[in-house]
Amino acid sequence: MSYSIAEAARRSGLSIDTLRYYERIKLVEPPARDAAGRRVYSDDDLAWLEFLTKLRTTGMPIKMMREYAQLRQAGDAGVARRRAILVEQRHSVAGRIAELQACLDVLDYKIDNYDRICARIPDAGVVREEISA
């Protein structure tokens, strides 16, 4: 299938400006053009945009994404480096998850502590219900 830039933006969750920016900085190859010169995105283009969005969500810097995109265009010659980039990013994500899990554990501990305190105080249950609402 083919998609206009507006439809590609809607499907990818990116703005039209972001799609143009990604093209300008060479994160995406220039899409095909229709007879009127308008951008036409393919399913493959949308799959690549979805992957780029995942990389951004992991916190990968644009600079690293650009390197990955350039290596992708080089084909199999860049496979080892692309893998290394993903392994490095995975390590970073795992570290952030562990840090967030430690924060979640602290929050759970504090909530449980307050639950125990509220259970001992007659009027505290009202406050607890308001907080949880």
Domain ranges of the chain: 1-57, 61-133
Residue 42 β-bridge partners:
2
CATH number of 1-57: 1.10.1660.10
H helices present in the chain, as ranges: 5-12, 16-24, 43-57, 62-73, 79-120, 124-132
Q: What is the pLDDT of residue 100?
A: 98
Could you tell me the mean pLDDT of each successive run of 10 residues in the chain, 133 residues long?
A: 95 96 95 94 97 97 97 95 98 98 98 92 64 58
The CA distances from residue 51 to 27, 55, 56, 69, in Å, are 11, 6, 9, 11
What is the pTM for the complete model shown? 0.79
Average pLDDT score over the chain: 93
Residue 39 β-bridge partners:
33
SS3 3: strand
The CA distances from residue 29 to 16, 79, 112, in Å, are 15, 18, 52
- Please check whether residue 17 is in contact with residue 9, taking contact to mean a CB–CB distance below 8 angstroms: no
Q: What is the pLDDT of residue 123?
A: 73
Residue 2 β-bridge partners:
42
- Please check whether residue 72 is in contact with residue 105, taking contact to mean a CB–CB distance below 8 angstroms: no
